[in-house]
Structure 1
Amino acid sequence: MGDNSALRSIERSFVASSPVRSLLRLLIPHRGRLSLATAAFLIKDSPAWLLPPITAAVIDIVVDRGPLPQLWLWAACALALLSLNYPFHMIFVRLSSRAIRSMAVDVRNALAERLQRLSIGFHNRQSASIVHTKVVRDVESIEMMMQQALPTFLSALFTLTGAVVLTALTVPAFVGVFAVTVPLAVLLIGYIRSRAADRNENFRHEVERFSAGVGEMAALIPITRGHGLERVATRRVAGQAENVRVAGQALDTLNGRFGALSWLSYQALGVICLIGASAASITRVIAISPGEVVLLSTYFTVLTGGIVALLNVTPIFTRGIDSIRSIAEVMEEPDVEVNEGKQLVTAVAGRIDLEGVGFSYEDDRPALRDISLSIRAGETIALVGPSGSGKSTLLNLVLGFVRPSTGRLLLDGVDAATLDLRSARFFVSVVPQESVLFEGTIRDNVAYGLTGVSDEAVLAALAGANALDILAGQGAGLDSVVGDRGARLSGGQRQRLAIARALVRDPRILVLDEPTSALDSVSEEKVKDALSTLFRDRTTIIAAHRLSTIREADRIVYIEAGRIVELGSHDELMALGGRYSAIVLHQNS
């Protein structure tokens, strides 16, 4: 299941307020395999409720001292029943496993697709570690629930049905016993679920917070080690781990208490059933043979065992249901970039117009106010201003990651609100402040997301990015592995690979966010040379603190408090003697 319509169907299956119904919807595409698996389970589990009558018949033969041939007949029947278990058990495992594992893949794919459509604002608010927990741990909890709860539920269901039917045929007077035990089990399971739901949710939130804390610790290790704060970082994680322990222990205690009480209750009922059947046989109140006494006792033992097993998997079921709610938080998140039904972009010249654009965040704090700017195709525009002035927000508007709260943004004269911005981004490349590389080769990182890119094209992009020296320092050339997040490369080398990644796409619009802010002077000089190649013949918008990288821009926009306060070339703004010239003089001093 990989097409968008199928993935959207899975998205719609998740409703936080109806997790059980959500689960049933998820299983609909796999109902064929699950139906066959249920039939196989019925056959493989049939000895559980067919062997007790055989046992009862054997005991009656022993009590009556014959006839012996009937004993061999019942033995053959028992062995034939037992021989069915292995092949049909394997059929059940294969069919149910394939259905459950396929469902898990479908959910993970749908989650990944949904996360790609959620806005940048959502991802800025949400910890990446929590998202990771939902995709990995929560889906795994649903898998575990299905793998453990399904066979337990089927076994209890078929055993109950078989026991009630055969008891009704042999000793009808004892059918009432099951009429007491089954409702009691339903009430117990419902009570445990209601009590455990809050503690499961609390435990999940503590695990998510712990996961986010571990992610922060890993990201902050250079700062932590550099400032000698190892003990502080360890204590923070230890505190969060302690919260997970307390929440988990409270959940385990609750589950253990109800597990023990349910076992004790049903064992007591089993003894009562045995004594009652025996007394009825001895006093002849009910015509019941010794074999039927054993039959009833065995049925009750098997049935109570199944019910206790159901009670034992109730915590797993509750955890799985809570995981469905957790995933539904993502599937029902409304902050989605909407592109469906909008005009596809098949070509881009590169002209960008902002007409009275304003943008405010959720707290109504304005980040941009009345921005009007026309950028010609092929022009290089530099954004300058203090931190928090709105430069990054303006870049996000150009990329379509956020939409204007007021005003319009036009691409080649067309209102961007009417365009499918996913298709527009095929003509855009982004070089972020910190280049993002993945564990793979230099070739894979440069050609990321593209197919059919030749080595010659990759080498040409590396040459344009002033990055061929990176190959010289690696033993395997383009096949050299850069390490996790480019750990085997310096900051300047990672940034030049990011520029090569942009070049190989030959974009019409280029967006750069502080591309040299974290580099030393030597690396910055190499990156500046690469940028001069990158800017050529394409619309470029670059935000920068280091003004040495933007002197050659066609126009420089000085932004302060979300407004454009100065606009012109480097020479024009220096002659103006305003804010821009002040910071240039300051950096040169």
Structure 2
Amino acid sequence: MQKPDSVPRTSPLDHHYSGEHPLRTLAYLFRPDRRRLSLAVLVFAVKHIPVWLLPLITANIIDVVVEHRPIAELWYNTGVLVFVLVLNFPLALLYARLMSSSIRRMGRELRSALCRRMQYLSIGYHARVSAGVLQTKVVRDVEGVEQMTQQSADMGLGAIMTLVGGLVVIGFRAPAVLPVFLVVVPLAALLVRRLRSRIRSNNEEFRLEVERMSSHVGEMTTLIPITRAHGLERTALHRVDHTLERVLSAGFRLDLLNGRFGALSWILLNTMAVGCLAGSAVVAYHGWLGLSAGDVVMISAFFTALTASLTTLMGLTPVISKGLESVRSMGEVLQAPDLESNEGKAGVDRVEGRIDFEGMGFRYPEATEASVRGFDLSVRPGETIALVGASGAGKSTILNLLIGFIRPSEGRILLDGADMAELDLRTYRRFLSVVPQESILFEGTVRENVTYGLEGGADDDALRRALVAANATEFVDRLPEGLDTVVGQRGARLSGGQRQRLAIARALIRDPRVLVLDEATSALDNRSEALIQDALSQLVRGRTVFVVAHRLSTIRGADRIVVMDRGRIVEVGSHQELLARGGTYATTLQPRRSG
């Protein structure tokens, strides 16, 4: 038997994410990089010196010219400015390296946390939330957080450094006008606070519409073969166009609000800048407060720089709001309570294959009546059990309960005498294999698909034996690159029968003790079914097997056939026993013959 997979480590955000405090979440994500980020801020402060030093140097040079000071002061001021300008280049590269590595690592951790959380969320959760929505959260939302952090760091730090540097210089050079500058900050903060709540709600509305669009586009691409076959292209496009119109409207409303916010802040701040320039010129003209001509230029330049910095900071509000909304969006996954709980439960080291269902029942949360009720069945190790019944009888629910995708609402399931509710199902599934109706392959080679999930892969001899037993060498050997042939997305380069034989080989190489066959041959032609029936006869040998099928050839060899109706067992027996009994199986449910 192969070495079992190691249990995946838990998400770094399992106990630290808080949707009400997204900034705290980001702080936690950046905690491993706090020294690197502190150094990045220090480097940025030094490289940003020319921005707030330039108005002071300009004022000094103007005063040298106007007041005929020694020419040496001109060259001294010019040299200082040239030095800090040249120093900007290596410091800018160092800052980019420090900041970018921290942000990209944070993005990787967020995506990793989301993907791990998705692996632990229940099958019921994945049935409710479309794959397109989850992909949007992993791709678009994380990208939004990365962009928010990058822009806040580059533009926000620059604006803050300019504000601090400018106010410090003015405080030393012209302290009398400092109070005027300080008026701008509370006014700008008031404007930001007033509009922030509306921007947040509009960002949330836009985000939800984009998620719906992603879900509908995913559905459209999946349904293209059916759409084309029935000439429903116009219907499909009309449905997507309706979603696109909703995205357009939500995005347009958000852009208008952002534009209104930016225009109001720009007018307010620049009006103040004009007033400051005129006021300082009047003061210098009358000789008040000892302001020189250079001081007037410096004050005007600083006011322009400070208003630009405040405009930048307020312009970041939509970006930050969008980024925080992305954090909240990811929180819908990171905080989803619908988890499969395995922590602290007993691990499974070996499986004999005895399964006991005792008074088991299950009702889905949204359902008005139970899907399975009063289900009692004892299965011996190595026994093959076939489940039959009309659609909605509860067969798939039984399989989901057996795999552990859902937990019984009442009663219990025993694995070799141990209550499965007390077991770590991840360790139990090391001894379980499932062959579904539609084989699930990924875009990799034949070798990668068959050995998927095996730690360290498998040697070529074991792989070859599994392929031979699954009757797969018949086509694998004819592929252009044999075992290293890429099968395409979802196995698109293979036929249905070929995909199913690879799925059987994948199950064989894992050497499971419990096997689930869910309509494994229902969609195949006669030749493919014959090959797969032969492969299945190899697969079920010595294993506890549960089969759901509609073809006689698939289930008549079962040790026992369980006939279900509306979640209950109505008959149990072998194929011949049930025919002789003349009950539900014989009269209405006898599977059709293959072909």
TM bin, normalised by shorter chain, reads over 0.9
Q: Tell me which residue corresponds to 1:294.
A: 297
Q: Tell me which residue corresponds to 1:193.
A: 196
Matching residue's letter, 1:549: T
1: CA distance between counterparts of 2:214 and 2:11? 28
Q: Tell me which residue corresponds to 1:128.
A: 131
Q: Tell me which residue corresponds to 1:331.
A: 334
SS in 2 for 1:205: helix
Q: Tell me which residue corresponds to 1:461.
A: 466
Q: Tell me which residue corresponds to 1:431.
A: 435
332, 344, 365: which one aligns with 1:341: 344
Q: Do residues 520 (structure 1) and 531 (structure 2) align?
A: no
Q: Do residues 375 (structure 1) and 379 (structure 2) align?
A: yes
Q: Tell me which residue corresponds to 2:115.
A: 112
Deviation at 1:585, TM superposition (A): 5.2
Deviation at 1:297, TM superposition (A): 1.1
Q: Do residues 404 (structure 1) and 412 (structure 2) align?
A: no
Q: Do residues 497 (structure 1) and 502 (structure 2) align?
A: yes
248, 253, 256: which one aligns with 2:256: 253
- The aligned runs of 1:152-163 (5 Å cut-off) are 152-163=155-166
Q: Tell me which residue corresponds to 2:3.
A: none
2: CA distance between counterparts of 1:440 and 1:586? 36
2: CA distance between counterparts of 1:348 and 1:144? 49
2: CA distance between counterparts of 1:359 and 1:493? 36
Q: Is the 8 A contact 2:346 2:423 kept in 1?
A: yes
Q: Is the 8 A contact 1:13 1:26 kept in 2?
A: no
2: CA distance between counterparts of 1:359 and 1:452? 37
- Structure 1: segments with no counterpart, 5+ residues: none
Q: Is the 8 A contact 1:438 1:486 kept in 2?
A: yes
Matching residue's letter, 1:571: Q
Deviation per residue, 1:368-419 (Å, 9 max, x gap) = 1011111111111111111111111111111111111100111110011111
Q: Is the 8 A contact 1:515 1:544 kept in 2?
A: yes
Q: Is the 8 A contact 2:389 2:589 kept in 1?
A: no
Deviation per residue, 1:86-121 (Å, 9 max, x gap) = 111111110010000000101111111111111111
2: CA distance between counterparts of 1:39 and 1:6? 35
Higher mean alpha-carbon deviation, 494-503 vs 359-368, is at 359-368
Deviation per residue, 1:160-179 (Å, 9 max, x gap) = 11112211111111111222
TM-score, scaled to structure 1: 0.97
Q: Is the 8 A contact 1:442 1:478 kept in 2?
A: yes
Deviation at 1:10, TM superposition (A): 2.2
Matching residue's letter, 1:573: L
Deviation at 1:586, TM superposition (A): 7.1
Q: Determine what percentage of the aligned residue pairs are the same residue.
A: 52
2: CA distance between counterparts of 1:79 and 1:269? 31
Deviation at 1:578, TM superposition (A): 1.2
Q: Tell me which residue corresponds to 1:353.
A: 356
TM-score, scaled to structure 2: 0.96
Q: Do residues 313 (structure 1) and 313 (structure 2) align?
A: no
Deviation at 1:520, TM superposition (A): 2.1
Q: Is the 8 A contact 1:432 1:513 kept in 2?
A: yes
Matching residue's letter, 2:403: L
Q: Is the 8 A contact 1:547 1:584 kept in 2?
A: no
205, 208, 211: which one aligns with 1:208: 211
Higher mean alpha-carbon deviation, 167-176 vs 493-502, is at 167-176
38, 41, 44: which one aligns with 1:41: 44
2: CA distance between counterparts of 1:536 and 1:545? 21
Distance 1:351 1:4, change over 3 A: closer
Matching residue's letter, 1:370: G
- The aligned runs of 1:74-85 (5 Å cut-off) are 74-85=77-88
Higher mean alpha-carbon deviation, 548-557 vs 363-372, is at 363-372
Q: Is the 8 A contact 2:550 2:592 kept in 1?
A: no
Q: Count residues in correspondence.
A: 587
RMSD of Structure 2 on Structure 1 (CA): 1.6
SS in 2 for 1:356: strand
Matching residue's letter, 1:405: S
1: CA distance between counterparts of 2:214 and 2:76? 61
Matching residue's letter, 2:540: F
Q: Do residues 64 (structure 1) and 67 (structure 2) align?
A: yes
Distance 1:315 1:493, change over 3 A: same
Q: Tell me which residue corresponds to 1:55.
A: 58
Q: Do residues 264 (structure 1) and 280 (structure 2) align?
A: no
Q: Is the 8 A contact 2:516 2:545 kept in 1?
A: yes
- Structure 2: segments with no counterpart, 5+ residues: 1-5
2: CA distance between counterparts of 1:362 and 1:479? 45
Matching residue's letter, 2:276: C
Q: Is the 8 A contact 2:7 2:426 kept in 1?
A: no
Higher mean alpha-carbon deviation, 17-26 vs 299-308, is at 17-26
546, 554, 559: which one aligns with 1:554: 559
Q: Tell me which residue corresponds to 1:142.
A: 145
